[in-house]
């Protein structure tokens, strides 16, 4: 009887493990990142719009999260002004796939967290790949 071995899996960067949930948490698992993604679904695209969200994300953290999301291919930044340079941020197809995750989280919270209420649906975002 021959012993078969699983092929070695090479992850694209240093994730803690190959567990899919761990991999997602390594990308999205802090208290701000999914809120930035939520705001993109709610048609916010500019830095100031994200900063005005009721959760009050500090601007240095917001800048960091936008850079990380761009590096992961979840958002794309597009210049809208050249002097001074200003950017807008849009979900990519990869980022738009997170809509189902946000909707499931909203549904769970509305069922299990008293007083939680969110948008009934997340609109289809403008996608830039």
Beta-strand relationship, 85-91 and 75-82: antiparallel
> In the chain, where are the structural domains located?
20-112
For position 16, what pLDDT does the model report? Answer: 87
Q: At residue 33, does pLDDT exceed 90?
A: yes
CATH of domain 20-112: 1.10.10.10
C-alpha–C-alpha distance, residues 38 and 34, integer Å:
6
C-alpha–C-alpha distance, residues 48 and 81, integer Å:
14
Give the confidence band of 127 by pLDDT, cuts at 50, 70, 90.
Answer: confident
Q: At residue 119, does pLDDT exceed 90?
A: no
Where on the phi/psi map is residue 18: left (φ > 0), alpha (ψ -120 to 50), or beta? alpha
The share of the chain scoring above pLDDT 70, in percent, equals: 88
Joined tokens for residue 66: 């936008």
Of 4-8, 49-53, 109-113, the poorest mean pLDDT is in 4-8
Where on the phi/psi map is residue 30: left (φ > 0), alpha (ψ -120 to 50), or beta? beta
For position 20, what pLDDT does the model report? Answer: 92
């Amino acid at each position: 009887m021959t012993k078969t071995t699983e092929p070695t899996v090479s992850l694209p960067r240093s994730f803690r493990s190959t567990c899919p949930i761990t991999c997602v948490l390594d990308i999205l698992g802090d208290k701000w990142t999914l809120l930035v993604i939520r705001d993109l679904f709610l048609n916010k695209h500019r830095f100031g719009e994200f900063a005005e969200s009721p959760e009050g994300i500090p601007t240095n953290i917001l800048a960091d999260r936008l850079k990380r999301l761009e590096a992961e291919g979840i958002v794309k930044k597009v210049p809208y002004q050249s002097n001074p340079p200003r950017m807008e941020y849009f979900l990519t197809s990869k980022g738009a796939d997170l809509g189902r995750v946000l909707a499931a989280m909203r549904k769970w919270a509305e069922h299990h967290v008293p007083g939680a209420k969110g948008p009934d649906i997340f609109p289809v975002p403008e996608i830039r790949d």
